[in-house]
Amino acid sequence: MPLRRSLLSLAAALATLSGSQAFAQETIKIGLVTALSGQSARAGEAITRGMSVAIDEINAKGGLLNGRKLELVRRDDEGNPAKGVVAARELIYKEKVAVLFGGLDTPVSMAIVPIANQEKVPFMGPWAAGTPITKNGANPNFAFRVSAVDEIVNKAMLQYAQKTFQSAKPAMILVDNPWGESNEKGLVAALAAKNMKAAGIEKFDGNAVDVVPQLAKLKAAGADTLFLVGNVGPSAQVVKSLDRMGWKVPLVSHWGPAGGRFTELAGPNAKSVHFVQTYSFFGKQTPVGEKVLAALKAKYPDIKGPDDVTPAVGVANAYDAMQLSALAIAQAGSTQGDAVRQGFYKIGRYEGLIKTYDKPFTAEVHDAVSENDYVWAQFIDNKILPVAQ
């Protein structure tokens, strides 16, 4: 009997060990829904690379939750909200991702966030800047972001236009979708705070091939600067339409042009657009910047130097967002959705790529990047370079 009991105990111990080892080998899936094809595919690839470098780093240190490795699972939304919703549901229900990352387009993210809130799965935004993504009215709110926020960027756009171009009569040319609406609201508020009004506000369809009629109205209104909001294709059409008009007016843009084949689509005047970024790999780097650039060079043969990390904003935002998400999971001690949500609030100090974060998220603030974290850039010889100031 003692021998039998010993054998049974040994068998139980082995079964427990085997089970714990299997659990340790089970990956923690991180989902990504973004544009992986089409005009903005470069943005999706940049987000992928930033997340992948962070995941490699975390896994090399032993992973999370007693040795579980992170695994990135991607789906292509093609910039289409309906396809983004289908992809998000698959990642949530079938893949059972611990955190769901969104991608480039505000309309897609705004379609996905209600599902994330309903299913209690943390959503992390590494690019889309629409203010309502995180300020969505849900309680509890599962949407977090490491990226620009329209209402803050809009203040920066006005400040930059006044400082750089001495603008007194700025006007808006906005893509006609929820992202354009978010920026119209933010720009109107930014102007009102300085007792100003827009010289004009014009919208255009994202598939338009000619924007001359709208631009002609803004020119007739005496606009001395244009605030541009649109992703790669729409922004390129604005630049080409200005070229057809022969109107050389300063363009101060949100970061939409940085997301893909802008210089190819816009032509030689692509360089006239000044746009916002959250990070640049040019110039002296912090130790984290040096580490990330070295990892990018080692992992991706096409990256030889800073000018090959494009768009840098996608890489930088995604890297920091992934690291902060990992810290939230570690704080939660599990992958259970609500625990991870609360884990974001427990993050203390983290030395990231964009900046050193100190309690980046609270129950009231779900955006980790502030107005002090932006840099301005333009395309020079097909490279995104900081504006010389």
Could you read off the pLDDT of 155-188 as tens digits, one per residue?
Answer: 999 999 999 999 999 999 999 999 999 999 999 9
* pLDDT of the residue at 12: 55
* DSSP one-letter code for 388: P
Domain ranges for the chain, please list them.
Answer: 22-148+283-370, 151-277
25-36 confidence digits (pLDDT tens): 799 999 999 999
* pLDDT of the residue at 386: 84
110-150 confidence digits (pLDDT tens): 999 999 999 999 999 999 999 999 999 999 999 999 999 99
User: Which are the contacts of 22, defined by CB distance < 8 A and separation ≥ 6?
Assistant: none
281-308 confidence digits (pLDDT tens): 988 899 999 999 999 999 999 999 998 9
* pLDDT of the residue at 311: 86
How many CA atoms are closer than 13 Å to the CA of 137, on its beta-carbon side? 3
**Letter for the amino acid at 297?**
K
Assessment of whether the complete model's pTM goes beyond 0.85: no
pLDDT beyond 90 at 260: no
* DSSP one-letter code for 305: S
Q: What are phi and psi of 164, to 5 degrees?
A: -85, -40
Write out the CATH class of domain 151-277: alpha beta
324-346 confidence digits (pLDDT tens): 999 999 999 999 999 999 999 99
DSSP reduced 3-state for 171:
strand
pLDDT beyond 70 at 19: no
| Under 8 Å between Cβ of 234 and 179 | no
User: Considering the domain 22-148+283-370, what is its CATH architecture?
Assistant: 3-Layer(aba) Sandwich (3.40)
* pLDDT of the residue at 387: 86
Q: What are phi and psi of 174, to 5 degrees?
A: -125, 140
* pLDDT of the residue at 240: 95
User: Which are the contacts of 36, defined by CB distance < 8 A and separation ≥ 6?
Assistant: 44, 45, 48, 74, 75, 76, 78
Task: Name the band, by pLDDT with cuts 50, 70 and 90, for residue 375.
Answer: confident
Task: Name the band, by pLDDT with cuts 50, 70 and 90, for residue 2.
Answer: low
Q: What are phi and psi of 30, to 5 degrees?
A: -115, 120
Q: What are phi and psi of 38, to 5 degrees?
A: 85, -165
Cα–Cα distance measured from residue 182 to residue 171, given in angstroms and rounded to the nearest whole number: 16
**Comparing 38-47, 94-103, 194-203, 362-371, which segment has the lowest mean pLDDT?**
38-47
pLDDT beyond 70 at 3: no
Are 22-148+283-370 and 151-277 the same fold in CATH?
Answer: yes
